[in-house]
Amino acid sequence: MPDEYAEFKEQPGDDPDDVLFNTLYGVRTIQLNRPKKYNALTGSMIRKIIPRLKEYQKSALASIIIIGGAGPKAFCAGGDVSHLANDIATNGDRGRSASKAYFGLEYKLNHFIATYPKPYVAYLDGITMGGGVGLSIHGPIRIATENTVFAMPETGIGFFPDVGGSFFLPRLEGQLGTYLALTSSTLKGVQALYAGIATHYIDSSVLSNLTARLSELVFKDYSDLRSRLQIIDRTIEEFNTGLPSNDSKPQLAGNLRIAIDHCFQYDTVEAIISALEKERDGAATPPQVKEWAAQTLQALSEKSPTSLKVTLRQMRVGETWNTSDTFRREYHIATQFIQRPDFVTGVSARLGHKPPIKPQWQPPDLASVTTEDVDSFFTIEEGEEGLSLLSEGEDYEEYRFLRDLGLPREEHVEEMVKSGRGLGRKELVDAMVDAKEGKIGVREKVEEVVGRKCGEDGEGKMIWKG
């Protein structure tokens, strides 16, 4: 193995078959192969994936990288935190050092994916949580299926939404990212597309045919990454089998979405809880929002108080971080968490017991988590060892190709409304569908945004209310 791969050489105990690699013409497939463990990500797997990605990067024969998971249940259910927590509980500082090394490897892989110069496609077919999100969200093309179950469940195990959560969650529309980060709420199937987690939605039954079709694509030598991704985007739409009949419209919509953006706009967890209580108890609150507020309050009450406060700070400062800042800062935050009791306590209670039990958090309540406590997660001392990245100097402030791929965002609808074209509701929606060449989900997403954010003038033309 070349010197540049020395950091990723096989270690004693590494499973030789936990990742499978295959070649199909110009496609290189990476299959996570721990189906009995829901393809939970280990150091052994990372040490295989990084060298392969480096090789594919250099190979003129490798045109498209596709990553997926073995088995019918999961793409990747997260990092193997049970192993890490057990190692800390058993071996103390030695276990913490091993956990720190694991997170360093994982974040290097995440950043490498974020800056990868070739088309990288992720099949989110099944459970996609934590570390599985890190393997997919930073790539330009992320395909959800009817089996997709997305979540960032870290606040429930005494940790924080890492693997680049500081970058992608604050950049979701409105306060969706803060809501998902604090509550660990799930998005299923096409809802991952509407939220911006996925860029495409197709039925799982056609994934193998899609892989074969993508392997037939031939790109011109001079075509850049954007043009190659646009070709892949159109190719995926060839496999459009329509939206699921029982779940075709956005669920986080209308009054519920308004309540999410209102309640989760605040900069303290206490203020968020207060806003939720007002929604729950308000006489004029719609029944659906009342029920949601009550369920959300219950969910927050079960999370680590330290995790909640650190995560909220993370959401507010992460929107200013670039990709390198994100993973270097998260590396520091992760090392702080593994020094504290909540990580081992939370993982043991939630994942180590059947059925799960209630963790005994330390500190036990929000009032006991001070501003100084939270500050320590974000203060990097002079001389502290930082995280070296595999693609140094390659950074961006927003996701590349955001406008090219995925569904239109609220700001894109706003631009169209304010363009001076004087469009009525149907004309506006049709124009945005046409601009995306009829892409699946565009009509439903735009109609939801228009219903929530727009009004009509005296002539029936759309105006932006915000």
Catalytic residue among 43, 69, 95, 131: 131
Fill in the amino acid letter for 234.
R
pLDDT in tens, 108-167: 999 999 999 999 999 999 999 999 999 999 999 999 999 999 999 999 999 999 999 999
Average pLDDT, the chain: 95
Q: Can you tell me whether residue 347 is helix, strand or coil? A: helix
pLDDT of 7: 79
Annotated catalytic, 162?
A: yes
Catalytic residue among 154, 330, 342, 444: 154
**293-314 per-residue burial string, b: 16 or more CB within 10 A, e: under 16:** beebbeebeebbbbbbbbbbbb
Annotated catalytic, 93?
A: no
By mean pLDDT, which of 23-27, 370-374, 377-381 is the weakest? 377-381
pLDDT in tens, 32-42: 999 999 999 99
Average pLDDT over every residue of 185-213 = 98
Strand order in the sheet with 127-129: 74-76, 127-129, 149-151, 187-188
Give the separation between CA 299 and CA 183, rounded to whole angstroms.
6
pLDDT in tens, 250-267: 999 999 999 999 999 999
Catalytic residue among 43, 69, 78, 79: 79
- Which residue in 92, 101, 165, 85 sits closest to 132, CA to CA? 165
Provide the token pair at 307: 């995790």
Burial class, 255, CB count within 10 angstroms (exposed 0-12 / middle 13-18 / buried 19+): middle
Catalytic residue among 87, 106, 125, 162: 162
Give the separation between CA 177 and CA 156, rounded to whole angstroms.
16
Rounded to two decimals, what is the model's pTM? 0.96
Give the separation between CA 271 and CA 278, rounded to whole angstroms.
11
pLDDT of 4: 63
pLDDT of 328: 96
The total of other beta-carbon atoms located within 10 Å of residue 290's CB is 16
Annotated catalytic, 154?
A: yes
pLDDT of 394: 78
